[in-house]
């Protein structure tokens, strides 16, 4: 993998204002020109061959800045040695010290800053006539401190930006995770709703088919009518199943139409039409009960009738729905276990009743089911109905 000159070592660093290659070229050029300016500004300096050697050393130290991102300490060490003996390497030394302070820990930068000051004192010993020792020491200390402070400030700023960016990315990832969890929970809820609906439709199909099996002597007109009912129930189940599969495959989980309290008579009528003798008593004193209350009551009656179709086909069944705002809503479904009734062979794991228990519990109500003392099967739920 290729890498541009002066490319940042840390990939988490923010994008620089200048391209790394452009920044490196400008830094090397400034280092060379600045070093030449320092050399020409000396009252006492190298002459003859030593002057050309000084210029060459300054250029080499400046070119070493190309590797300041990959090996900042090595580049700074080379620049310190060069600045101790060659005046034209002084600017490269400052840039190298800044690079160390920007990319390494502060103690390392401070140690190299001390060496930078020492290099300035060595150059003073070689050419003492340019200025006093005090001024030389003060200038070198000030320049080294400024380079270290500037580099450390840039490093802290970059670390802060990286931390904020990481925090934002983490928050975005957590938000996506929460959205996925909400979407999955909604899919599970829709699947549970459709399980109740499809199970009820299939039980009606089985009930109609069982009636044909036990009464092979039915007139042709009745057989045709029952066959039409079977076909219609199967078609309804397929349509509802196809609809929920389509919803679960999309990202936009639009809410399904929810059943209401006033839909319970139609639900009971379907069972009666299928041959299950069901008697309904409704005395819910409200014209517009809460949507969740009507949905829960409908699902309870639906699951109880489905179980009656499966386990007690043809047995007399009573459905009672009564209540009022502030008093709660009581839903009771009782079916007899007829001695001659043969249960339909529909496999199940009791998930429907467990789901109802969870549904009613989440709404703050109570749910019970089981055999009564007289041998009937009773499903009873008490739902909260606020005023």
**Range in 244-248, 284-288, 348-352 with the lowest mean pLDDT:** 348-352
Which of 276, 306, 282, 305 lies closest to 294, judged by CA? 282
**Residue 151: is its pLDDT beyond 80?**
yes
Q: Do the beta carbons of residue 270 and residue 204 sit within 8 Å?
A: yes
305 closest CA partner among 354, 271, 338: 271
Half-sphere exposure of 5 (CA within 13 A, CB side): 13
Q: How far apart are CA 27 and CA 69, in angstroms?
A: 13
Query: What is the DSSP secondary structure assignment for residue 325, as one 8-state letter?
Result: T
The full set of domain ranges for the chain reads: 20-173, 259-387
Higher model confidence: residue 200 or residue 330? 330
The single residue listed with the structure tokens 């069944």 is 317
Average pLDDT of span 286-297 = 77
Q: What are phi and psi of 86, to 5 degrees?
A: -130, 125
SS3 per residue for 244-260: HHHHHHCCCCCCCCCCC
Q: Residue 80: what are its φ and ψ, rounded to 5°?
A: -65, -45
Tell me the CA distances in angstroms from 253 to 132, 183, 185, 243, 289, one per residue in order: 81, 8, 11, 12, 25
Q: Name the DSSP letter for residue 263.
A: G
Residue range 202-212: average pLDDT?
Answer: 68
pLDDT at 308 over 70: yes
- The position carrying tokens 């401070």 is 110
**pLDDT of 10 higher than 60:** no
- The pLDDT of residue 379: 93
Q: Which two tokens stand for residue 306?
A: 């489905």
Question: Which single residue is written with the structure tokens 């299950």?
Answer: 276
CA 151 from centroid of its chain's CA atoms: 37
Dist CA 116 CA 57 (whole Å): 16
pLDDT digits (tens, 9 = 90+) for 214-228: 666 767 776 676 677
- Residue 14 parent element (H or E): none
> Which helix (DSSP H) or strand (DSSP E) does residue 284 occupy?
strand 278-284
According to the CATH classification, is domain 259-387 in 3.30.565.10? yes
Reported as half-sphere exposure (CB side, CA atoms, 13 A), residue 124 has a value of: 16
Per-residue pLDDT reduced to its tens digit, 19-45: 777 888 888 888 788 877 777 767 666
Q: Are 93 and 83 in contact (CB under 8 A)?
A: yes
- What does the alpha-carbon distance between residue 86 and residue 39 come to, in Å, rounded to a whole number? 8
88-to-51, 58, 125, 156, 367 alpha-carbon distances in Å: 10, 5, 16, 31, 90
For the chain, what percent of residues have pLDDT higher than 90? 7
Please report, in angstroms and rounded to a whole number, the separation of the first and last CA atoms in the chain.
71
- pLDDT-based confidence at 1, cuts 50/70/90? very low
pLDDT at 4 > cutoff 50: no
Q: How confident is the model at residue 333 (pLDDT cuts 50, 70, 90)?
A: very high
* pLDDT tens-place string over residues 50-68: 888 878 888 888 888 888 8
- Count of CA atoms in the C-beta half-sphere (13 A) of 19: 6
| Residue-wise pLDDT tens digits, 122-136 | 888 887 777 778 887
Q: How confident is the model at residue 286 (pLDDT cuts 50, 70, 90)?
A: low
pLDDT digits (tens, 9 = 90+) for 177-199: 887 787 777 667 666 666 666 66
Lookup: tokens for 244:
């929920």
């Amino acid at each position: 993998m290729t890498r541009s000159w002066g490319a940042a070592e840390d990939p988490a660093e923010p994008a620089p204002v200048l391209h790394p290659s452009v920044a490196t070229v400008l830094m090397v050029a400034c280092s060379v020109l600045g070093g030449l300016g320092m050399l020409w500004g000396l009252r006492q300096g190298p002459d003859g061959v030593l002057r050309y050697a000084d210029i060459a050393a300054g250029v080499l130290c400046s070119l070493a800045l190309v590797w300041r991102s990959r090996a900042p300490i090595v580049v700074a060490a080379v620049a310190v040695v060069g600045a101790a003996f060659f005046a034209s390497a002084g600017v490269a030394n400052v840039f190298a010290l800044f690079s160390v302070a920007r990319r390494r820990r502060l103690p390392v930068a401070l140690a190299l800053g001390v060496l930078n000051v020492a290099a300035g004192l060595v150059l003073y010993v070689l050419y003492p006539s340019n200025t006093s020792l005090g001024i030389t020491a003060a200038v070198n200390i000030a320049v080294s401190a400024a380079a270290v402070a500037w580099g450390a400030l840039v490093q802290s700023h970059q670390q802060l930006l990286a931390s904020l960016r990481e925090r934002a990315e983490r928050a975005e990832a957590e938000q996506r995770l929460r959205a996925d969890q909400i979407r999955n929970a909604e899919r599970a809820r829709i699947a549970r709703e459709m399980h109740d609906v499809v199970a009820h439709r299939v039980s009606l199909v089985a009930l109609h088919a069982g009636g044909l099996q036990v009464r092979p002597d039915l007139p042709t007109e009745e057989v045709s009518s029952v066959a039409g009912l079977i076909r219609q129930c199967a078609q309804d189940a397929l349509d509802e199943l196809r609809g929920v599969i389509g919803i679960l495959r999309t990202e936009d989980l639009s809410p399904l139409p929810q059943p209401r309290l006033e839909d319970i008579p139609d639900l009971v009528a379907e069972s009666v039409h299928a041959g299950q003798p069901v008697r309904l008593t409704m005395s819910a004193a409200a014209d517009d009960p809460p949507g969740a209350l009507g949905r829960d009551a409908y699902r309870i009656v639906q699951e109880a009738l489905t179980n009656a179709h499966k386990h007690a086909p043809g047995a007399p069944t009573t459905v009672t729905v009564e209540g009022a705002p502030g008093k709660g809503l009581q839903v009771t479904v009782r079916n007899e276990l007829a001695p001659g009734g043969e249960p339909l062979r529909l496999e199940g794991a009791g998930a429907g009743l467990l789901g109802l228990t969870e549904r009613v519990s989440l709404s703050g109500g109570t749910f019970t089911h089981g055999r009564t003392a007289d041998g009937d099967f009773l499903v009873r739920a008490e739902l909260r109905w606020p005023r």
